[in-house]
Chains A and B, each alone.
Chain A
Amino acid sequence: MSSSEDDEEEVRVPLSQRQEWSDVEPIPQDDGPDPVVSIAYTDEFRETMDYFRAVFAADERSTRALELTAEVIDLNAGNYTVWHFRRLILESLQSDLQEEIKFIELVANKATYKNYQIWHHRRWVAEKLGTIATTSELQFTQKVLCLDAKNYHAWSHRQWALQALGGWENELEYCRELLEVDIFNNSAWNQRYFVITKSPFLGGLQAMRDSEVSFCTNAITKNPDNESPWRYLRGLYKGNNEAFVNDPAISKVCICVLEKNRNCVFALSLLLDLLCYGFQPTPDLNRILSTWGFSGSDQKYANFVCLILEKVDPMRARYWIWRRDSLPSHIC
């Protein structure tokens, strides 16, 4: 059973039968000759596009043209020309852009949040609105990220909004919340790095390092098979290998993980990096490696770790062989 409202929505009056469009001569599509990718359209799509072509050709920037662009967008939100024309009309009519924000949300809900045109249009509108749009943009991206926490467009828009409009104050906390929901969310880890390196309130990477190392090693301890925090940890010491190898928290997390799971590829690979940067083996490390048959007398630690990695990560064996072949001569 459907309500009368639903019925109204389903019955679309063709443009050719609408009084307000009687003065317009539709322009049919010229597909040109091309046997490779030619396209079959539905009648509704064809007719709407034919009328759109007519108002576009006449450069008609009217309210009805604006409404027509909404119909075209409803049929295909990826058509960038329609969005372009819509912006021209919005500018000419000096339309209320807060209304446009609502329109975008409707379209995005119905189409897909992975559509480049919608996001680009949204940014254009927010840019025009300026800092009064800060909250709406952060909330909108938060809503989208609730549905798809790795949506590349939403993250990109959010980073733009933070830099162009502001709103950094709660961003680190937001990253923490997302990581609490899903610690494997690489996008949230990336955003976290973005915040600690770019936020005007946090003092930069060095000021944040100790607390971030602690956050990161906690995450690793809970889920050692999570690629993201292992990379993040290296990122915290980017370009400063000496400090990296001298931070006891780094080798500690590595050894702790290996004590529970000696096969952990990410821990073994971090151990290999540490050894390459000059890490001096400890009794704990000797004990772990001895379970793999390492005696310590006849070969190097790093070499042995590479051999383990070749065995436990056979898909990337050739990478680990290359690492073994290119070990610096002076290391343990």
Chain B
Amino acid sequence: MGELEIEKHTQFITSIEKKKDFDSMVMEHLRMSGAYWGLTALDLMGKLDAVDREEVVSWVLQCQHDRGGFSGNIGHDPHILYTLSAVQILALLDKLDAIDADKISAYIEGLQQEDGSFAGDEWGEIDTRFSYCAVCCLSILRRLDKIDVGKAISYVASCKNFDGGFGCTPGGESHSGQIFCCVSALAISGALTHVDRDLLGWWLCERQVKSGGLNGRPEKLADVCYSWWVLSSLTIIDRVHWIDKEKLKTFILDCQDKEHGGISDRPDDAVDVFHTFFGIAGLSLLEYPGLKPLDPAYALPVHVVDRLIFGQPHKQQP
């Protein structure tokens, strides 16, 4: 088993700008998420100093719209996905005071529907991914009271399936990515009683295949990104010891490009910043030496969440 190539991965993440290919082009509209993946991965490796924080903050702020939401890049429309990424970046960099939290909260509040679900933007696509974005974002901003949390919880709970997993809407197939969103949203809003931990835990540990990697659904291929979606869910429901951690660690490390840095979905595939983050995040949850611990629900380093929850006085209290 190889080791985690921290220096190479740092180099890969900070040099993405020099690449000139199709992947960079399609990243344009989701640059905010790209930045969140890259910066969080750097912080987990203790390498956040490799970037100029002020420059990042200035760019993030330029992506905020009058309505309060953030877009994936300058000149694009706001969306709840990028609003969460922006707030996570600012939390990571300890710059939440640079934004008007009430304005962001009002934007998110406006996306909640009558049944408790959330739309991704004004065009109304509904998905439990957006329930997670709303709850996580407002919790970071200490403004969960701005939405109807009870209804948000019951919508997420209505997406639970007979196998213990969750889908994107009621009746949608259980999928590890959606399970992460639903379980995390329920965890943040203190409603984990809606999760059947043992049934879901068994479904999640069945996702480990012979190679040691994890898949997202039955009969699908293993992919490094599920190291995050499955592991974080298992960690939240306290069942991570049900899988073979050593085999998973080996699988993730085998997906590294040891020459140029970066992590891919499967061994010998092309690397990208998305899988680099999820690989490092997975290793952090597996307590890989030298990596900072990551909070499984907020998807932020534990020291950041500690600062958010314990480090600041509640602004609404006298």
Of the candidates B202, B208, B220, the one whose C-beta lies within 8 Å of that of A315 is B208
A159–B75 CB distance below 8 A = no
11 example contacts (A-B, Cβ-Cβ < 8 A) are as follows A29-B75, A34-B31, A39-B25, A39-B28, A40-B17, A40-B19, A41-B25, A56-B75, A190-B167, A232-B162, A315-B208
| Distance in Å: Cβ of A26 to nearest Cβ of chain B | 13
The residue that A316 contacts in the complex, of B13, B35, B56, B243, with Cβ under 8 A, is B243
- B46 lies within 8 A of chain A by Cβ: no
Instruction: Tell me, yes or no, whether B20 is within 8 Å of chain A by CB.
Output: yes
Q: Which of B72, B79, B162, B242 contacts A318 (CB 8 A)?
A: B242
Q: Is A294 close to B, CB under 8 A?
A: no
Interface string of A23-66 (1 = CB under 8 A from B): 00000011111111111111001000100010010000000000
| Pick from B62, B71, B168, B244: contact of A152, CB under 8 Å | B168
Flag A181-202 by CB within 8 Å of B: 1 or 0 each.
0001111001101100110000
CA distance A197 to B73 in the complex (A): 42
Residue of A nearest to B239 (CB): A319
Cβ-based interface call for B157 (8 A): no
Within 8 A of A (CB), among B154-206: 161-163, 167-169, 171-175, 201-203, 205-206
Q: Contact check, B27 vs A37: say whether CB atoms are below 8 A apart.
A: yes
* B308 contacts chain A at the CB level, 8 A cutoff: no
B8 at the interface (CB under 8 A from A): no
Query: Which stretch, A77-85, A138-146, A241-249, A282-290, touches the partner chain B?
Result: A77-85
Q: B115 — which chain A residues lie within 8 A by C-beta?
A: none
B210-252 at interface with A (beta carbon < 8 Å):
217-220, 239, 241-244, 247
Q: Judge whether A252 is part of the interface by a CB distance below 8 angstroms.
A: no
Task: Report how far A53 CA is from B244 CA in the complex, Å.
Answer: 50
**How many angstroms from the CA of A53 to the CA of B219 in the assembled complex?**
43
How far, in whole Å, are A34 and B239 apart by their CA atoms in the complex? Answer: 39
Please state if A316 and B208 are interface contacts (CB–CB under 8 Å): yes
Q: Which residue of A lies closest to B75 (CB)?
A: A53
CB interface residues, A 66-93, toward B, < 8 Å: 75-76, 78-81, 84, 87
Q: Indicate if the CB atoms of A227 and B125 lie closer than 8 Å.
A: no
Q: A184-B218, A319-B242 are in contact. List 9 more A-B contacts (CB 8 A).
A: A34-B55, A41-B24, A42-B20, A53-B75, A152-B168, A156-B168, A186-B217, A186-B219, A316-B205
Q: Are A40 and B174 closer than 8 Å at their CB atoms?
A: no
User: With the chains together, A30 CA to B76 CA distance in Å?
Assistant: 11
Shortest distance from the beta carbon of A246 to any chain B beta carbon, whole Å: 19
Chain A residues with Cβ below 8 Å from B52 are: 33, 35
Q: Known: A35-B17, A35-B52, A81-B71. Contact between A316 and B206, CB under 8 A?
A: yes
Query: Which of B13, B25, B28, B125 interacts with A36 by CB under 8 Å?
Result: B13
B34 within 8 A of A: yes
Contact B25 A45 (CB under 8 A): yes
Smallest CB separation, B244 vs chain A (Å): 5
Cα(A38)–Cα(B25), bound, Å: 10
